[in-house]
Amino acid sequence: MINGIIVIDKAAGMTSGDVVYHLRKLLHQRKIGHAGTLDPEVTGVLPVAVGQATKLIDLMHERPKAYQGSGMFGLATDSYDLEGKTTAEAKLAKPFSQEEIQEGMNSFLGEITQVPPIYSAVKVNGKRLYEYAREGIEVKRPERQVTISKYELVGEPTFDQAAGRENFDYEITCSKGTYVRSLVNDLGEKLGVPAVMTKLRRTASSGFDLSQAVTLEELADHLDQLDQYVQPIDAFFQDYPSYDINDSEWKQIQNGAWISLPINASKVALRYNKKVKAIYRAKGKKFCPDLMLLSNE
């Protein structure tokens, strides 16, 4: 039984659900779930929780995500990427300068209100937006608050004089629920031209990055070395204050008891036999259970 997080470098053309399906077959384990859906054409970091680690999925969603991508001025689509139908075209007479693009990007920093693309998995009245779109039904898209902590131009944009289109690369760090496709589309609106996302790769999510990621093919070829690809549950809580409990306290923890701890923190990772067994949170003068991981070995 595996208990931990496998950081998959998802290939283009696969859904996040496909990744979970393949891992279940590969690992012969049912209790598997991913944290943070990636669209099929988007590649990169997809953290997958296995065994006891599935209890962490809600917490994994809360951590920031980072992306590297490309966009193009001069074209817009209904899906905000190249998969959709063209909704607007406009030849640029001259390219935007790096300063103009970056200034536009800066306007999206901080907490902003986003409207998801019509081709997205957001549910309205129990039905996903892309289902309404495919049926040609207009529906009010729900607004959401997201936080953008980084939106930066990378390198020098390239301008195709004949086509009147300008391509640019960017890096983004953002909160959960952010639609990067929308950020590219909205940047175009800010600058007064159509814009579309042309490529996207997630470089970090849930506290993990590409340096820890493995493709499904690599994993399948190295099942005899599986341990080196599994991030232990404890790695997720490395920034939490920790406390090593004794045998007596361990018995109390197993029963979900409230305990007193000589530590000043809002949350603490309780360790027994060098493994995190529970996350406790401060409640008055004592600590009470917040997340139980008793089978973490």
Rounded to 5 degrees, φ, ψ at 159 are -120, 125
> Is residue 75 classed as helix, strand or coil in its secondary structure?
strand
Examine the residue annotation and report whether 239 is marked as an active-site residue of this protein: no
| Residue that is written with structure tokens 């990378």 in the block | 154
Closest CA to 147 of 184, 186, 111: 111
Closest CA to 297 of 278, 276, 279: 276
DSSP letters for 210-266 = GGG-B-HHHHHHTGGGGGGGEEPHHHHTTTS-EEE--HHHHHHHHTT--B--S---S
- Give the dihedral sign, CA 68/71/76/81: negative
Catalytic residue among 9, 39, 81, 186: 39
> Is residue 113 classed as helix, strand or coil in its secondary structure?
strand
CA distances from 14 to 20, 38, 121 (A): 10, 9, 15
84 in Cβ contact with 77 (< 8 Å): yes
- Give catalytic residue positions: 39
